[in-house]
Amino acid sequence: MVVCKSQSELDKMRRSGHIVRQVLDELRAMVAPGISTMDLEKLAERRIKESGAKPAFKGYYGYPCVLCTSINDEIVHGIPSAKRVLKTGDIVSIDCGVVLDGYYGDAAITVAVGDLVSPERKKLMEVTEQSLYKAIEKVKIGNTISDIGGAVQEFVEAAGFSVVREFVGHGIGTKLHEEPQVPNFRSRGADMRLREGMVLAIEPMVNTGGPEARVLEDKWTAVTLDGSSSAHFEHCVAVTRNGPLILTQ
Ligand code: MF3
Ligand code: CO
């Protein structure tokens, strides 16, 4: 069942989305060689608490942290650790979710560490973020879920990269994950039409090599099968009469 949101519900989601954005902005500025992913986690946890919101990920199916921090060949769901110290040339994806007043916000960015990030990784980050905006342009009443993924896939593959299939975006509202699933590729089952008030977390995950993923022994961290680099950007977007409304702005 897909739950469409009223204007007052969208206002609440905007507030949770705003908190997520403020946290991510601060973390982006903090990323530097020598910073550990646990340093990022600690700051995020403090800021979320100060905002009056609650972290959305911690405790979700037993997930241990408020952030997911995924470095280089890690696609998503990397677990923050004091032992994972960022170094120049790395790229780190930071995914953050909160719940405020019963409504969820969820967003992700990928950030370059230091000055020695390769041209390929820089292009990967640019293409992945741009593919998210290509997808957002499709968030219009009457378009289909498949139009969103199609826009990501077309843009990413034209750039010579590949789209991860094992993880997808999702509806979001009073739960972190609601229907429908939002794949980042054109898919047969995804012919659902977009309706006013639907809210979608669109989150392309893009690899420089092949699309295949595997999950590490920690049961969470998803990495590329071929060791290639991966980037991830995410926004929550509402379907409105006036077109897409980004709630995690
Ligand atoms: N943005 C990711 C998602 O929507 C993060 C979930 S992490 C989890 O799936 F721990 F909550 F699972
Ligand atoms: Co999400």
- Nearest residue by C-alpha to atom 2 in ligand 1: 95
The alpha helices in the chain, defined as continuous H runs, are 7-30, 37-51, 119-136, 145-158
Among candidate residues 68, 119, 71, the one with its CA nearest the CA of residue 94: 68
- Using DSSP, state whether 62 is helix, strand or coil: helix
β partners of residue 205: 232
**Which residue out of 176, 202, 233, 237 has the highest number of ligand 1 atoms within 8 Å of its CB and is therefore the one to mutate?**
176
Rounded mean pLDDT for each run of 10 residues along the chain, 249 residues in total: 97 98 98 98 98 98 98 99 98 99 98 98 99 98 98 98 98 98 94 97 99 98 98 99 97
Specify the ligand 1 atom closest to the Cα of 201.
Answer: 4
What pLDDT sits at residue 189? 86
- Nearest residue by C-alpha to atom 10 in ligand 1: 57
Torsion of CA 249, 204, 223, 108, to 10 degrees: 0
Q: Considering all CA atoms of the chain, what is the largest pairwise distance in Å, rounded to the nearest integer?
A: 48
Under a CB-based contact definition with an 8 Å cutoff, are residues 234 and 132 in contact?
A: yes
Instruction: Indicate the domain borders of the chain.
Output: 7-246
- Nearest residue by C-alpha to atom 8 in ligand 1: 57
Specify the ligand 1 atom closest to the Cα of 177.
Answer: 4
CA distance 148 to 23: 27
- Using DSSP, state whether 147 is helix, strand or coil: helix
Instruction: Report the sign of the C-alpha dihedral through residues 76, 204, 4, 145, in that order.
Output: negative
**Which residue out of 95, 164, 215, 230 has the highest number of ligand 1 atoms within 8 Å of its CB and is therefore the one to mutate?**
95
8-state DSSP, 31: -
CATH class of this structure's domain 7-246? alpha beta
What pLDDT sits at residue 113? 98
- Ligand with the closest atom to the CA of 60: 1
Torsion of CA 24, 27, 33, 35, to 10 degrees: -130
Residues with C-beta less than 6 Å from any ligand 1 atom: 57, 60, 63, 68, 77, 95, 106, 108, 170, 201, 203, 234
Specify the ligand 1 atom closest to the Cα of 57.
Answer: 11
Distance, CA 77 to ligand 1 centroid (Å)? 7
